[in-house]
């Protein structure tokens, strides 16, 4: 199903769409206030972008350096070329520990690899411990946002969900009550877990350690209570030196939620005494993306979600309409690289306004990459006949000024005098939710000529 079809379903609940739009815009405004408080914010963005460009140009060296340092610290390092290998490695570690209960902190990579269903099919209980992730897990839905996974759910919906799965009392969506019940429920899962899985925000090449950012402290709680820790990371998570964390931690928190710093920035550099730590480094299509000159900068992404919060299409179509692990503008340039046919509608889910590129903390030229994908898709994929015909006709009209003027005059006449049904019908998808602007009597050309004639 295309993005437009899925977005149509989301748009049926107008009140919810308005609320979703406002909630995300609120986060965008918080980001603006927080970023504007930092002197040299633009310089910081440039620095983040340059460090990432350096990483991508020397990725092989940094990865090998990271592996060597991690091993020196007593960490087991594993390499996975794809999702299947990643899941098999994780499962083998769990089998070694005879683990039947796993707690997981937020990790978009394990979502991308579909780790949960893989492990559940082997009889392993996997509990997502980030509150938003747990909500969507109970609802049997994927996250709809990379930082705010349950942003599409109202508190009243969470109330009903918790009553069903956690046995809570009806509370009319009282957030304090719901959070305290979730805390009790998760505490029990933490205590009983055999192994903790976390994502990785940054992997530091010169120390061999990883940094995980959470606001709930769930990664720390899981890791410190379980007998083994598995950290799963994409190859692009590397940063060269520990001092570079000063750049990225400031960029990440402010861009994601408008906080000056994430509540917990946890550094895991070695296993605790008597415990094991594993790092699984995953490619899963990233090398291929790296080899595409027009799209390699998409690997700068630090997963802050700011491009989603600002995108007018994302805000009004919801994360699930993208049907990809990473939704929104960044997902729309990552997904076609994975499966062009399946995700061919996503680069078109944009106004190309460039707001995503303007807020991106690592200066990814997102809207330009969206436009590049469109060009590739138009060449490689079949386009609807009606769209092709309209664009071909438009090219003829727009390239001939006289014809353009005649077409403009006819259109103005038709818009004024034709019956409404002739303009607002099935062929005019644009008019489904919009009124065309009031038609002027003259166009710019007529006005300009008249102005020159009158001196």
Q: Which is nearer to ligand SF4, 54 or 91 (CB)?
A: 54
Site string for ligand SF4, 247-276 (x = CB under 6 A): --------x---------------------
Choose one: 17-25, 354-362, 377-385, 397-405; the region binding ligand SF4 (CB under 6 A): 354-362
Which one among 186, 290, 361, 369 touches ligand SF4, defined by CB under 6 A? 361
Output the smallest distance, CB 151 to ligand SF4, in A.
14
In this chain, which stretch among 8-16, 135-143, 360-368, 435-443 interacts with ligand SF4, using CB under 6 A? 360-368
Give me the least distance between CB of 223 and ligand SF4, in Å please.
25
Q: How many residues does the chain have?
A: 455
Instruction: Tell the smallest beta-carbon distance from residue 331 to ligand SF4 (Å).
Output: 9
Nearer to ligand SF4, 70 or 302 (CB): 302
| Contacts (Cβ under 8 Å, ≥6 apart) of 119 | 87, 90, 91, 94, 102, 126
Structure tokens, 282: 């995953």
Least gap, CB of 329 to ligand SF4 (angstroms): 6
Report if residue 364 touches ligand SF4, rule: CB under 6 A. yes
Q: How far is the CB of 375 from ligand SF4 (least distance, A)?
A: 20
| Residue number, 70 or 304, with CB nearest to ligand SF4 | 304
Residue 200 is a binding residue for ligand SF4 (CB under 6 A) = no
The 8 Å CB, 24+ separation contacts for 421-424 are none
Kindly tell me which residue out of 150, 238, 299, 304 binds ligand SF4, with binding defined by CB under 6 A: 304
Largest CA distance in the chain: 91
Binding residue for ligand SF4 (CB under 6 A) from 27, 127, 313, 360? 360
CA angle in degrees (0–180, nearest 5) for 343-349-353: 140
Taking the complex as a whole, the smallest distance from the CB of residue 108 to ligand SF4 amounts, in Å, to 10
Q: Does 302 bind ligand SF4 (CB under 6 A)?
A: yes
Cα separations in angstroms, 412 against 19, 54, 212: 37, 54, 58
Nearest 10 degrees: Cα torsion 137, 138, 142, 147? -60
Going by the DSSP 8-state scheme, the letter that residue 82 receives in this structure is S
By CB under 6 A, name the one of 136, 212, 362, 377 that touches ligand SF4: 362
As a whole number of angstroms, the distance between CA 145 and CA 166 comes to 24
Alpha-carbon distances of 96 from 81, 110, 223, rounded to whole Å: 22, 20, 17
Compute the least distance from the CB of residue 347 to ligand SF4, in Å.
14
Per-residue buried b or exposed e for 116-142, using 16+ beta carbons within 10 Å of the residue's own CB:
bebbeeeebebbbbbbbbbbbbbbeeb
> By CB under 6 A, which span of 32-40, 167-175, 355-363, 426-434 interacts with ligand SF4?
355-363
Does position 56 bind ligand SF4 by CB under 6 A?
Answer: no
Nearest to 87 by CA among 121, 138, 63, 133: 121
Query: Could you tell me which of 307, 10, 22, 8 has the C-alpha nearest to residue 146?
Result: 307
User: Using CB under 6 A as the criterion, which residues of the chain lie in contact with ligand SF4 when the complex forms?
Assistant: 255, 301-307, 330, 359-362, 364, 366
């Amino acid at each position: 199903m295309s993005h437009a079809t899925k977005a149509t379903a989301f748009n049926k609940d107008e009140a919810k769409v308005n609320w979703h739009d406002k909630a995300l815009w609120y986060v965008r405004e918080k980001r603006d206030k927080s970023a504007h408080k930092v002197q040299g914010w633009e310089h910081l963005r440039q620095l983040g972008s340059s460090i990432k460009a350096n990483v991508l140009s020397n990725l092989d060296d940094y990865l090998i350096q990271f592996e060597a340092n991690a091993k020196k610290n007593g960490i087991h390092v594993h390499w996975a070329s794809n999702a299947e290998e990643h899941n098999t490695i994780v499962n083998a570690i769990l089998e070694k520990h005879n683990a039947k209960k796993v707690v997981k902190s937020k990790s978009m990579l394990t979502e991308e690899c579909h780790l949960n269903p893989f492990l559940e099919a082997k009889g392993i209980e996997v509990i997502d411990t980030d509150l938003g992730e747990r909500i969507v897990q109970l609802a049997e839905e994927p996250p709809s946002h990379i930082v705010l996974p349950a942003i599409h759910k109202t508190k009243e919906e969470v109330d009903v969900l918790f009553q069903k799965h956690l046995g809570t009392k009806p509370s009319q969506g009282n957030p304090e009550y719901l959070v305290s019940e979730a805390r009790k429920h998760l505490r029990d899962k933490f205590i009983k877990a055999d192994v903790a899985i976390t994502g990785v925000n940054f992997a530091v090449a010169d120390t061999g350690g990883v940094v995980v950012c959470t606001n709930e402290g769930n990664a720390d709680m899981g890791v410190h209570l379980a007998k083994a820790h598995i950290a799963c990371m994409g190859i692009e998570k590397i940063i060269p030196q520990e001092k570079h964390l000063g750049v990225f931690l400031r960029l990440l928190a402010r861009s994601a939620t408008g906080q000056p710093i994430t509540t917990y920035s946890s550094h895991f550099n070695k296993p605790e005494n008597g415990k094991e730590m594993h790092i699984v480094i995953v490619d899963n299509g990233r090398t291929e993306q790296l080899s595409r000159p027009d799209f390699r900068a998409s690997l700068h992404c630090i997963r802050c979600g700011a491009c989603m919060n600002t995108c007018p299409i994302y805000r009004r179509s919801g994360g699930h309409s993208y049907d990809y692990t990473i939704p929104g503008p960044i997902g729309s340039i990552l997904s076609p690289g994975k499966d062009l046919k399946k995700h061919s509608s996503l680069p078109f889910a944009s106004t190309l306004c460039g707001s995503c590129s303007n807020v991106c903390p690592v200066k990814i030229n997102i809207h330009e990459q969206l436009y590049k994908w469109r060009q590739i898709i138009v060449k490689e994929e079949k386009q609807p006949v009606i769209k092709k015909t309209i664009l071909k006709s438009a090219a003829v009209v727009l390239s001939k000024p006289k014809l353009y003027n005649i077409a403009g005059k006819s259109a103005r006449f038709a818009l004024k005098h034709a019956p409404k049904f002739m303009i607002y019908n099935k062929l005019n998808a644009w008019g489904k939710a919009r009124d065309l602007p009031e038609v002027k009597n003259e166009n710019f050309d007529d006005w300009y000529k008249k102005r020159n004639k009158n001196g």
